[in-house]
Amino acid sequence: FSLPEHNCSYFKHFTPGQSSEIFEVTTQKEYSISAAAIAIFSVGFAIIGTICVLLSFRKKRDYLLKPASMFYTFAGLCIIISVEVMRQSVKRMIDSKETLWIEYSYSWSFACACASFVLLFICGIALLLIALPRFPQNPWETCMDAEPEH
């Protein structure tokens, strides 16, 4: 028993002029599945990072902030890789010889994905810088000799 396969990622466009013939052009299924899997990894990294941050605030476990920052950075990198895979899929579809595209534009979801990459990546790096130990103030002082911040 097999279910019928449905493709939900298609684009409809019409040719300008007198004929209004409608084409249905699909993106490649492998690209869509790959982008979705990478996006799921991004969500997982963000969830694990949030758990690390919440645990570090609960009992003053500052050592959990470094892994949290790395998880947020990895989540941002996964998002931009997923966006690029989908962009390449759409670009390949547009460059096909079956259709002639006059103009195309990206939607608001593309801008949201790019903004989330920037936010996660910058916040991950900032959290890593915050979690680093205090540098010595004097040249003869080592990091181990420095007074604790709390």
pLDDT tens per residue across span 49-80: 999 989 888 777 788 889 999 999 999 999 99
pTM above 0.85, yes or no: no
CA atoms within 13 A on the CB side of 27: 18
Q: What angle do CA 60, 46, 75 make, to 5 degrees?
A: 125
Q: How many whole angstroms separate alpha carbon 41 and alpha carbon 107?
A: 23
Q: Which pLDDT does position 132 carry in this prediction? A: 80
Task: Name the residue with higher pLDDT: 98 or 6.
Answer: 98
Of 49-58, 80-89, 94-103, 139-148, the poorest mean pLDDT is in: 139-148
Instruction: Extract the tokens encoding 13.
Output: 């466009």
Q: Which amino acid is at 69?
A: S
Domains of the chain: 23-95+109-131 (1.20.140.150)
If you ran DSSP here, which 8-state letter would residue 146 be given? S
